[in-house]
């Protein structure tokens, strides 16, 4: 069991009247890493705890993000967190930059896609020093198809079961807008994104959501040192989720594909190898 960091929670307001909770773990450092969790994650997931502890030990302050509705309390608005909600990452970073000049980002899975999309959108305007992501479904449609395969049924069931509580809570908050009565009929992300993710967040349909929010199309515009690490044996990632050509043609974006690691795994002798990789990469890319 990964020991829990000593978090101090801060609630920040979003421009649309909603909120997100940041869990801070500080060492009185002048530099900070903003950590973004994956689908149905939170600041309390073992991989989040582990990286917070590792960065604290390396003299980094850390802001562990809980996306909308992921901190144990439903968010106020119909809008939900999703793979392309870069407006929420902007809100978080604008807040963090009020206290720090030296800011880096670490993103896992969904949070990694969000981070890479954001960095490509802002390009040369990024104030972030460097960024690293793990296990990112860079092609959302291909990843949804991959997860729907029979061999991934247990993962699909776990995600849909976890998302049920949020959908049912929103149905209670917004009666007549959301209908969760036939939720058991949903068996994959194609149906889930078509029924909920897309309409609740302003997309025409699942295809529109996947097309606009997949991060691959934004990678060529990244202008800060950025690394993506995705294991070759990740069961969630299709071949098109490994942006090899984009990395080969970029001066700022690079890709590492370890043979083993699964999805947000990378265990080595009881520890997360990824924790050491994060610390090393962020230290290597500090401005003197």
Specify whether 239 is catalytic. no
* Token representation of residue 128: 């972030």
Closest CA to 126 of 156, 93, 159, 169: 93
Q: Are strands 271-272 and 267-268 parallel, antiparallel or unpaired?
A: antiparallel
Q: Which is catalytic among the residues 25, 230, 234, 274?
A: 234
Q: Which is catalytic among the residues 25, 143, 188, 263?
A: 263
* Lateral strand order in the sheet of 253-256: 8-13, 19-25, 61-66, 31-36, 102-108, 131-134, 226-229, 253-256
Name, in order, each residue with C-beta under 8 angstroms of 35's C-beta and a sequence gap of 6 or more.
43, 48, 51, 52, 62, 63, 64, 65, 105, 106, 107, 108, 111
Q: Look up tokens 């069991």; give the residue.
A: 1
Specify whether 249 is catalytic. no
To which H or E segment does residue 117 belong?
helix 110-122
3-state SS, one letter per residue, for 231-259: CCCCCCCCHHHCCHHHHHCCCCEEEECCC
Q: How far is CA 79 from CA 8, 59, 83, 112, 178, in A?
A: 26, 36, 13, 20, 12
H-only helix segments in 134-266: 140-147, 153-173, 189-192, 198-200, 206-213, 244-248
Specify whether 109 is catalytic. yes
Q: How far apart are CA 185 and CA 266, in angstroms?
A: 34
Q: Which is catalytic among the residues 42, 109, 230, 274?
A: 109
Catalytic positions are: 109, 234, 263
């Amino acid at each position: 069991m990964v020991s829990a960091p000593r978090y101090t929670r801060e609630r920040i307001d979003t421009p649309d009247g909603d909120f997100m909770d940041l869990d801070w773990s500080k060492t009185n450092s002048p530099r900070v890493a903003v950590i973004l969790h994956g689908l149905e994650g939170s600041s309390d997931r073992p991989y989040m705890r582990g990286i917070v502890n590792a960065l604290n030990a390396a003299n980094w302050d850390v802001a562990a993000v809980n996306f909308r509705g992921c901190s144990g309390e439903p968010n106020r608005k119909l809008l939900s967190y999703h793979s392309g909600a870069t407006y929420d990452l902007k809100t978080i970073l604008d807040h963090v930059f009020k206290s720090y000049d030296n800011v880096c980002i670490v993103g896992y899975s969904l949070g990694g896609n969000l981070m890479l999309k954001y960095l490509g959108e802002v390009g040369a305007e990024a104030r972030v020093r460097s960024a690293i992501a793990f296990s990112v479904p860079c092609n959302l449609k291909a990843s949804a198809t991959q997860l729907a395969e029979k061999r991934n049924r247990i993962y699909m069931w776990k995600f849909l079961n976890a998302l049920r509580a949020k959908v049912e809570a929103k149905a209670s908050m917004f009666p007549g807008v959301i209908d969760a009565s036939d939720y058991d009929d949903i068996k994959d992300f194609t149906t889930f994104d078509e029924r909920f993710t897309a309409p609740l967040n302003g997309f025409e349909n699942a295809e529109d959501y996947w097309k606009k929010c997949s991060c691959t199309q934004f990678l060529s515009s990244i202008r800060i040192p950025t690394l993506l690490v995705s294991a070759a044996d990740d069961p969630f990632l299709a071949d098109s989720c490994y942006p090899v050509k984009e990395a080969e043609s970029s001066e700022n974006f690079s890709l590492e594909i370890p043979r083993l690691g699964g999805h947000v795994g990378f265990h080595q002798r009881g520890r997360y190898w990824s924790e050491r990789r994060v610390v090393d990469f962020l230290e290597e890319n500090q401005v003197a």
